[in-house]
Structure 1
Amino acid sequence: MTPRLAQIWRHPIKAHGRERLDAAMLEPGQTLPWDRHWAVAHEAAHLAEGAWSPCANFSRAAKTG
């Protein structure tokens, strides 16, 4: 059986919506281009420039109703 990719989705802004892609250029050992490229930090966030930060530092979208 040959695997087949049915859909490609990316989240340009971490936890704030998504977009469906018709195609993407993928490189070995690299992430999906522009996926979670930006994030929105809240006012109580503790961030270190250039370092990884846990998701608790960032705002997240939520559906209501």
Structure 2
Amino acid sequence: MAVRNPGTLSAENILLRLYKGNPASGGTLVGERTIPSIVAGGSATTTISWNTLGASVPITFMLWQTLVGQ
């Protein structure tokens, strides 16, 4: 997947999390990955693997946050 930083500052330690369903309503975390950095206006490509055997609900949420101080 491609992750873009549309901001004017570089971002570091970006934590991506994929959920099956809405995490605020009990969705299940299926994978996560940390991207070391993305320059301002830049992008990065990463992969997150998960087992789709028997999956009936698509991945509907991707959340990200910058891990401050890490």
- Larger Rg over CA atoms: 1
- Give the TM-score normalised by structure 2: 0.29
